[in-house]
């Protein structure tokens, strides 16, 4: 059930991402200071990937994105991932990837608009990028702290092998 809820939220996030980008394409005609000297809304057409790498490689980026997104979707639907943290992380990566893929296929570029460059010199980015980063962070946290971690047997309990060498009942 969690995977379907996560996929439904992912679809809503793709819709929100596309709605914001449609607004930016039409209404963001000049740089808007949200917090002067720190945060601006700035319209940018990005034909590359993160940090402006692979500029002009829209088709190659779209193909790679489709392969990765198909693999993520298959993994989510396979039932092999059951931990909620991992499911939500993958769903966020999927939603951000789909949001930017739609831009690449429909426009030939990704619309970026979140601008912290005045203070940090950081590249302009968008909601989809945020979703990919947050999702990746959740998956990394899952892998580091939760994957393949089993509770140690408490004092007096037998571990995976019973005294007679047979597998325990809790396997």
pLDDT digits (tens, 9 = 90+) for 14-31: 999 999 999 999 999 999
DSSP strand pairing (32-35 vs 39-46):
antiparallel
- The pLDDT value recorded for residue 103 is 95
User: What pTM was computed for the model?
Assistant: 0.82
Q: Is 103 a catalytic residue?
A: no
For 107-132, b where at least 16 C-beta lie within 10 A, e where not — what string?
eebbbbbbbbebeeeebbbbbbbebb
Of 17, 129, 159, 164, which residue is the catalytic one?
129
Which of 17, 103, 112, 115 does the annotation list as catalytic?
Answer: 112
The DSSP letter of residue 29 is: -
What residue segments make up the domains of the chain, in order of their start? 2-145
Neighbours of 158 (CB within 10 A): 11
Q: How far apart are CA 171 and CA 168, in angstroms?
A: 6
From residue 15, alpha-carbon distances to 4, 8, 72, 96 in Å are 17, 11, 19, 11
pLDDT of residue 155: 55
pLDDT at 145: 94
At residue 83, φ and ψ (nearest 5 deg) are -75, 130
Q: Mean pLDDT of successive 10-residue segments in the chain (171 residues)? A: 93 98 96 95 87 72 92 94 96 97 94 91 94 97 87 52 45 39
Please indicate whether residue 112 is annotated as part of the active site.
yes
């Amino acid at each position: 059930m969690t995977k379907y809820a996560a996929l439904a939220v992912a679809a809503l996030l793709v819709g929100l991402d596309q709605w914001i980008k449609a607004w930016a394409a039409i209404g963001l005609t000049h740089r808007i200071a949200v917090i002067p000297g720190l945060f601006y809304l700035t319209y940018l057409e990005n034909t590359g990937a993160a940090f402006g790498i692979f500029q002009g490689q829209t088709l190659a980026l779209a193909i790679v994105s489709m392969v990765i997104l198909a693999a993520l979707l298959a993994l989510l639907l396979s039932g092999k991932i059951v931990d909620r943290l991992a499911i939500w992380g993958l769903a966020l990566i999927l939603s951000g990837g789909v949001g930017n893929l739609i831009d690449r296929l429909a426009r030939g570029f990704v619309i970026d608009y979140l601008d912290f460059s005045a203070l940090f010199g950081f590249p302009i980015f968008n909601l989809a990028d945020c979703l990919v980063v947050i999702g990746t962070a959740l998956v990394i946290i899952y892998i580091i702290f939760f994957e393949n971690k089993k509770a140690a047997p408490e004092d007096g309990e037998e571990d995976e092998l019973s005294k007679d060498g047979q597998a325990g009942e809790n396997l």
